[in-house]
Structure 1
Amino acid sequence: MGTDGGHCSFVLLAEFDILAGAQLKYQFPQPLGVDESVLAMSMLPDGAETQLDDWTVFFLNQTPFNTISPVLALDTPEVKTAALAGELQNGEGDKPDLLCVLNLVRTKHDSTLERGAKVLALAICTRHPFIQIFKPVLLMALDDYLADPSQDCLARLFDAVNSMDLSGAPILTRNEKMVMRYSDRRDIFAEKFAHLSPQHQPYGKSSHQHRSTQSGESFSSFEEGILMKRDRDETTMAAGAAVSQSSPSEASFSLGGSLVWVGGDEGGHETTSAEGEENDSVHSFVGTTVAGSSYQRRRSTDASSGSSAQHHNGTLRPSMLTPSFQDPHSRPGLGKDTHFYHTTVAYMDHQLPIKMPLSTFPEEVGDYSLIMLVKAFSSTAQVSGPMHPHLYTNGPQTHPIIILFNALVTGKRIIFLGHKKPAGEVSTFVLSACALGSGCGAVLRGFIERAFPYANLNNKDEWEAVPAYIAGVTNPIFKTSPTWDLLLDISVGSVTVAKDIFTTYPVTSTVPLGLPAISRATTFNADASLGSEEDLAKKDGTNVKSADHNADNIFLEDIKAAIEYHYGENHVRMRFTEYVLRFVRLASRYEEDTIGSTKFGYPSTVFDNRLPNPRLGSGMSFVDDTAGRREITGNAQRIEAWRKTNSYEYICVDFRNAQLTDTIQGFDVAHQLFRIRNAKYLSDAEMIAIMRALSDNVKSYEQVVELLAYLMPNGGGLAHLAFGCFHQRDAVRDATVDLFNQIRAFPVGAVFLQMLNHFQRYAYVRLAHAKQLQLQRPNDPGFRAGNGVY
């Protein structure tokens, strides 16, 4: 990611001296120009002597007191780390790059020493947010230093990290990162590794290799994305005859010159193309079948060499059709997970394996866990203090995690206290909170720049002077400090709101004077993942009137249920990304209703079919006027407070940049997808307009990926669009086929089409085949295009 070198800017080593206290002993390759006592205290946290090993994180270049000086002499154009994909400077080029410091603290017991132990810390400074990849080499370097305490150890560590080769790592756009993190498939974007030598590719020679998606070439045959089947009565039929001599049966047809079989029933034969290709393509991985001019039985690659025993007379069992792409671990040719770039760091005589995550955003630093955060603060009984409307969006029933989110986005001063806890654990909570507020880095930003994962008394004045700081401390003396607004004690799971918060943040009117109150209300339903107010009320066992903006609580109940049923961290992160996305769209609607326009969203309009060219709707709306007013009113205070923060300024800049760089232009894609998903009534005219707009504007690789980035798994992926294959109007079916044909032209699109159920896949391919025949025989009166048969 970027050029080689520049991964490590500095290496620091600090030791605790019994007389002088924490001392910064070495700075390599040059002094940072920061107060050495501040660095030493940050590297040697309180209570470090009680832990054998501890990891902490802190940042440089946040504030004047921790900004390095002089500017890095190593930052020449040849070695400077390139900006991460999706990390735009947005006119902030005058600000120094934020440096992440990963710090390893160790207590070395030695009976010959006066206090029986030596406490020291070794740290590296890097611009990369995925600092966790450097833990193995840092552990080895500290062992090396203990064996030979000299600055040569720091030089070896510096050179080893900077020699790490990341030049082959794919550079992903924001949309590609979103698609990658939504997918559990270990081969997602495998075509991005095609430029690497075979030994460095994430898949071996026998695994699939996509062609490059940067070209405009079509990704041949969606056959590779469909589960195949063959009717029992056609097992002896030649493929060429099927294509050229007869019309397709209910189970087979020709698409793009290849015979395609659809379904997961028994009786399917697995075949390969006439060219005799080996199983080094996508279909060997996903368990699909492509036939050319003649049928040949293909060697099995589904599990092991012994898997052929599961075939009977060439028949592939249903159990071998479906799991092949869902359980990639079962395939012998499967290599490494494409969610990571695999490389090594050569330290001394060791080659340390490194897995660099490819879908990390700048607001996601290190290892963090939203599951841990939710588990630690899950009871409203543990919340105390005044109920400020910036924090409480559902009265006394507001969940502690929602209180934390509200405090993050409204710019409150937050402290995580972990008395007698390792400093590394406290740091993790701070990093998790930053991810929570930013929507896992995918929606908002500005949280990491005011985060102090480990803070102490030595630099108290500096970090407390930062507005809206997010700090982690281990000293209980901070409980009595008057400078925080929200204190979260990770030891007992309690949340305390400052008693003078109303004085610090006076409550103001939510509607500016002289402007009308909330007026608009309905364009399309609220997101299905959160449900409408009526649905939420039913779930809560109450009527609509008593459902006072409880969408947040229902959301947290869903999150807790997912954790209880052992859904992974990735699922929880995706749900919080959805939540923050919805908050931003809601805030955009509020801003438009109160001041007449919005700076970071599309205006709220409804579909208008009265014009010669129908105008699509845009923006956010609700199920009805009452529900819309109630939800906006319930969120008004936190939205007003958020509009005064840096996070709001950043989202306005990001939206303006997106309007210039988005490849799908001219309409609000999210609005159209929500209309298809949630509208109780969608007219034929609007459905035709939506599908035609998508098929006309989603053609290139970048456009396909941008569309897929909107389709979160909880929303069903392409499933709702696939219902267009069953629509009563020919125009909708035709536009859906055009759109899917354009999506399947690229490997990642084929992956998403693969996720459709058998009925949807079958309907699409039948329609595509019928359209193909219609184009080939436009003047044949005996052909019924609607059915694709004679």
Structure 2
Amino acid sequence: MPNIEYIITAEFHIDKGPSLVFQYPHQLPGLQNLYFLPELMLPDQIHKRNEDYTLFLLYRNLNTGEFQYLYNKNNCEPDPYFLYTIVLNLTNDEYKRGSQVKSLSILTNLSFFKNFKPVMMICLDLYFKSNDHHIIKQLYKSINEKSFIISRDSLNGMEINDISLIKKLLITSILDLPINDKIYYDENFRNKILGIGKSQIINPDLFIRKDLSFNSILNFNEMNIPIRIPMINLPDTIGDYLNPTDLNFKPNLINILNSKLSSSILNNELTIYGLQTPPIIILINAILTGKKILVMSYENSSGYIIDHILLILKIITGGGILSGLLTRYNIFPIIDVSKIELLEECDSFIAGTINPFFKNNDKLWDLLYDLDLNEFIISSNIETPGDNIIKSSIISEDARFLSNLQLSIFNYNDDLTTIQLIFRRHINEIIRILLSSKNFNNNLLPNNKDLILLLEGIGYYWSSDTTKLLEISCYQLISKKFQNLLYNEKLIYNLILPNLSNELNLMIDLHYHLQSLNNVSITTKINEREIWFNILKFLISGKSLEIFLLITYLIPPNSSTSLQSSIAHNGNITIFDKNKGIELLLINLFNFDDQIKSNIIMILQELEDNFLCGWCINLFLKNNLIYEIAFNELINT
């Protein structure tokens, strides 16, 4: 499969409007049904800007081979294609009635399409000057003659992105800089982490970078142009989750966090804390309940709007925790008024627009984000299910999430991957809350006799029944709607319990039991010995060991106290501040119960036998001399 399927050029003349000019290697299949392509490729208000970009998603029909605008799960390929267009506007005296606008598009299923922008800009500039289609053909050849497959097993054709989702999530959750350095400097370590054996061949077109990515060099127009290739692809992630290449990631996120709710409409699925509900919570709830979401800006570029939509997708999916949005939810990064009928067909969507017409027609959307005013508006036509009962107090998970996020962004000069881990943890926690009213039973657990639950206790852990009732009631309507989306496969939760079973089909809700241990008190009745014994029983191989280590990363700290302490002393966040779950394991090296200590030692020894888990455990031990001494003494006695 080529890196890019098609290259398309389009032009805009004030007297003729937008039109397609050239398609290579041949006309796009399905073009007769995509007659609106030129209008979307050349956005509104382009005459105000020298350059811009647009994006929309296409889906290939398995029966006809044609591309279509809406996804159909019955006949479309499972992954979308991205039509990425860069637009240049150059004033030319020959065009007395206006500017000449030209665009260049690539159609690709590579999620890191924005990394082709430098070479596309060079190509479009050359094309502007000469109108020579040979330049377009040269670009197509330059990109497709390179292989962006990271590695290939010479025996069975396995690619690096065939590694399990659990391992991808684990690697992208390990945020400590030493692993970056090890991957960069230690080829043996890098190959083992990525599962590249001696029989495998590293792609000669790629070379390693220090930031968990690869580079390739494109030869175009007698120039060598670097292209950055993400090392790990995650579901529904556009671009690179671990190391965002978009420099606007943080400022755009701050925009969202600083936004206001301007409407006085109350809705039990959105404004769960009344008009004081933080907009980021409203936005998350809107997606978890399948709302129609419109992002609008009249004063900024279409690229500015699209960047915000891509950011929303990045943080709401948690980088692989939640998926299905790119296909089942309906993502329209940029639309115009001619697509109103299409929007009306959709039960849910996330769409961007430059046209202010949409703002005054709230029958078309449930939630609108006005980027110019930085405010959210809830539609007056939105159905309000149930009674408007607003909770007076925020649930502990939302409070913890907001506290850690604000502290990380505004008070601490944190790296972007830590911010993403905060979102990943929160999305995972909220989904567990939404599923806990069903307790992961019924339709969410398949009727499979081979799956054996080792230990009772599944779902989100609450320290008391009173707290559970209060917090479940807060999210009750959201829970019902989210479960419907899950059952109908509109959304996918990738860490649902059956997906976390080991090779013997044994299941244990590690998250639930580690949280119960983390909240143990005199009043709680928890059999710690039984929990650690069953965790040990579960850890039989590399798969289950990586599941365990991933879950330790996904357990959020009880509060942001440790972060505040680090800041107060001008210190860096420690490795244990980033992984409270593993500290919970190590602290039991001092448990008064010898049987528990014995199980902890055996768990640590099992983890050490796995290359990635063992490296992490050794790093944890070396970062705390007391734990290291305790571990060494116990294994030697």
> Could you say which residue in structure 2 is the equivalent of 1:526?
none
> Could you say which residue in structure 1 is the equivalent of 2:402?
556
- Deviation, 1:387, is 0.4
Q: Is the 8 A contact 2:323 2:492 kept in 1?
A: no
Q: 1:740 to 1:397 in 2, by over 3 A?
A: same
Are residue 117 (structure 1) and residue 73 (structure 2) matched?
Answer: no
> Could you say which residue in structure 2 is the equivalent of 1:181?
172
> Could you say which residue in structure 2 is the equivalent of 1:670?
511
Q: Is the 8 A contact 1:417 1:489 kept in 2?
A: yes
Paired with 1:377 and 1:434, the residues of 2 have a C-alpha distance of: 13
Q: Is the 8 A contact 2:169 2:320 kept in 1?
A: no
- Deviation, 1:182, is 1.7
Paired with 1:406 and 1:209, the residues of 2 have a C-alpha distance of: 39
Please give the secondary structure, in 2, of the residue aligned with 1:591. Answer: coil
Paired with 1:411 and 1:457, the residues of 2 have a C-alpha distance of: 22
- Deviation, 1:683, is 8.9
Output one character per residue of 1:689-739: Cα deviation in whole Å (capped at 9) or x when no partner.
Answer: 222333333242222222221122644252111112111222222222222
Paired with 1:139 and 1:160, the residues of 2 have a C-alpha distance of: 14
Paired with 2:502 and 2:54, the residues of 1 have a C-alpha distance of: 37
Q: 1:213 to 1:663 in 2, by over 3 A?
A: farther
- Deviation, 1:490, is 0.5
Which residue, out of 5, 10, 20, partners 1:9?
Answer: 5
Please give the secondary structure, in 2, of the residue aligned with 1:57. Answer: strand
Runs of 5+ consecutive residues of structure 1 not aligned to the other structure: 74-88, 194-201, 218-333, 511-544, 604-612, 771-784, 786-790
> Could you say which residue in structure 2 is the equivalent of 1:386?
265
Paired with 1:209 and 1:548, the residues of 2 have a C-alpha distance of: 43
> Could you say which residue in structure 2 is the equivalent of 1:348?
221
Output one character per residue of 1:338-371: Cα deviation in whole Å (capped at 9) or x when no partner.
Answer: 6212322232322322222233323221466664
Aligned positions of 1:518-537 closer than 5 A: none
Output one character per residue of 1:399-439: Cα deviation in whole Å (capped at 9) or x when no partner.
Answer: 01111111111111111111120100001111222233322
Paired with 2:498 and 2:599, the residues of 1 have a C-alpha distance of: 30
Which residue, out of 583, 589, 596, partners 1:732?
Answer: 596
Q: Is the 8 A contact 1:718 1:752 kept in 2?
A: no
Output one character per residue of 1:222-265: Cα deviation in whole Å (capped at 9) or x when no partner.
Answer: xxxxxxxxxxxxxxxxxxxxxxxxxxxxxxxxxxxxxxxxxxxx
Q: Is the 8 A contact 2:455 2:534 kept in 1?
A: no
- Deviation, 1:657, is 6.5
TM-score (norm 2): 0.80
Which residue, out of 587, 595, 599, partners 2:434?
Answer: 587
Structure 2 residue identity aligned to 1:762: I
Output one character per residue of 1:288-339: Cα deviation in whole Å (capped at 9) or x when no partner.
Answer: xxxxxxxxxxxxxxxxxxxxxxxxxxxxxxxxxxxxxxxxxxxxxx973262
Paired with 1:181 and 1:462, the residues of 2 have a C-alpha distance of: 37
Paired with 2:113 and 2:59, the residues of 1 have a C-alpha distance of: 17
Output one character per residue of 1:484-507: Cα deviation in whole Å (capped at 9) or x when no partner.
Answer: 111111111111111121xxx241
Paired with 2:515 and 2:255, the residues of 1 have a C-alpha distance of: 33
Q: Is the 8 A contact 1:676 1:721 kept in 2?
A: no
Q: Is the 8 A contact 2:102 2:128 kept in 1?
A: no
Which residue, out of 630, 633, 637, partners 1:766?
Answer: 633
Q: Is the 8 A contact 1:361 1:442 kept in 2?
A: no
> Could you say which residue in structure 1 is the equivalent of 2:564?
none
> Could you say which residue in structure 1 is the equivalent of 2:415?
568
> Could you say which residue in structure 1 is the equivalent of 2:551?
710
Higher-RCO chain (CA-CA 8 Å, sequence separation at least 6):
1
Paired with 2:405 and 2:180, the residues of 1 have a C-alpha distance of: 29
Q: 1:160 to 1:681 in 2, by over 3 A?
A: farther
Are residue 20 (structure 1) and residue 16 (structure 2) matched?
Answer: yes
Q: Is the 8 A contact 2:40 2:335 kept in 1?
A: yes
Q: 1:663 to 1:652 in 2, by over 3 A?
A: farther
Q: Is the 8 A contact 1:22 1:41 kept in 2?
A: yes
Please give the secondary structure, in 2, of the residue aligned with 1:125. Answer: strand
Larger displacement relative to structure 2 (172-181 or 406-415): 172-181
Runs of 5+ consecutive residues of structure 2 not aligned to the other structure: 152-159, 199-206, 240-244, 448-452, 554-576
> Could you say which residue in structure 2 is the equivalent of 1:71?
65
> Could you say which residue in structure 1 is the equivalent of 2:471?
631
Aligned positions of 1:39-188 closer than 5 A: 39-61=37-59, 70-71=64-65, 94-95=76-77, 97-115=79-97, 117-169=99-151, 170-171=160-161, 172-185=163-176, 188=179
Larger displacement relative to structure 2 (440-449 or 99-108): 440-449
Structure with larger Rg: 1
Q: Is the 8 A contact 1:101 1:124 kept in 2?
A: yes
Please give the secondary structure, in 2, of the residue aligned with 1:633. Answer: helix
Output one character per residue of 1:735-786: Cα deviation in whole Å (capped at 9) or x when no partner.
Answer: 2222212222233223322134221122112222x1xxxxxxxxxxxxxx3x
Q: 1:209 to 1:390 in 2, by over 3 A?
A: closer
Q: Is the 8 A contact 2:405 2:419 kept in 1?
A: yes
Please give the secondary structure, in 2, of the residue aligned with 1:420. Answer: coil
- Deviation, 1:396, is 2.0
Please give the secondary structure, in 2, of the residue aligned with 1:693. Answer: helix
- Deviation, 1:581, is 0.8
- Deviation, 1:36, is 5.4
- Deviation, 1:555, is 2.4
Please give the secondary structure, in 2, of the residue aligned with 1:499. Answer: coil
- Deviation, 1:13, is 0.9
Percent identity among equivalent residues? 20
Aligned positions of 1:605-754 closer than 5 A: 615-645=455-485, 649-650=489-490, 655=496, 658=499, 665-681=506-522, 686-712=527-553, 714-753=578-617, 754=619
Which residue, out of 353, 367, 371, partners 1:473?
Answer: 353
- Deviation, 1:622, is 1.1
Q: Is the 8 A contact 1:438 1:445 kept in 2?
A: no
Paired with 2:133 and 2:196, the residues of 1 have a C-alpha distance of: 50
Q: 1:93 to 1:214 in 2, by over 3 A?
A: farther
Structure 2 residue identity aligned to 1:184: L
- Deviation, 1:142, is 1.5
Paired with 1:42 and 1:677, the residues of 2 have a C-alpha distance of: 52
Paired with 1:6 and 1:183, the residues of 2 have a C-alpha distance of: 32
Which residue, out of 336, 345, 355, partners 1:456?
Answer: 336
Q: Is the 8 A contact 1:439 1:578 kept in 2?
A: yes
Output one character per residue of 1:526-585: Cα deviation in whole Å (capped at 9) or x when no partner.
Answer: xxxxxxxxxxxxxxxxxxx96353642552243122111232322221111111111111
- Deviation, 1:588, is 1.3
Which residue, out of 235, 245, 256, partners 1:377?
Answer: 256
Q: Is the 8 A contact 1:203 1:336 kept in 2?
A: no
Q: Is the 8 A contact 1:588 1:599 kept in 2?
A: no
Please give the secondary structure, in 2, of the residue aligned with 1:491. Answer: coil
Q: 1:213 to 1:622 in 2, by over 3 A?
A: same
- Deviation, 1:92, is 6.2
- Higher fraction of strand: 2
Are residue 364 (structure 1) and residue 246 (structure 2) matched?
Answer: no
Paired with 1:435 and 1:647, the residues of 2 have a C-alpha distance of: 23
Paired with 2:407 and 2:76, the residues of 1 have a C-alpha distance of: 45
Paired with 1:766 and 1:618, the residues of 2 have a C-alpha distance of: 35
Q: Cα RMSD over matched residues?
A: 3.6
Structure 1 residue identity aligned to 2:325: G
- Deviation, 1:443, is 2.5
Are residue 600 (structure 1) and residue 444 (structure 2) matched?
Answer: yes
> Could you say which residue in structure 1 is the equivalent of 2:574?
none
Paired with 2:291 and 2:237, the residues of 1 have a C-alpha distance of: 20
> Could you say which residue in structure 1 is the equivalent of 2:450?
none
Structure 1 residue identity aligned to 2:275: P
- Deviation, 1:388, is 0.8
Paired with 2:604 and 2:497, the residues of 1 have a C-alpha distance of: 30
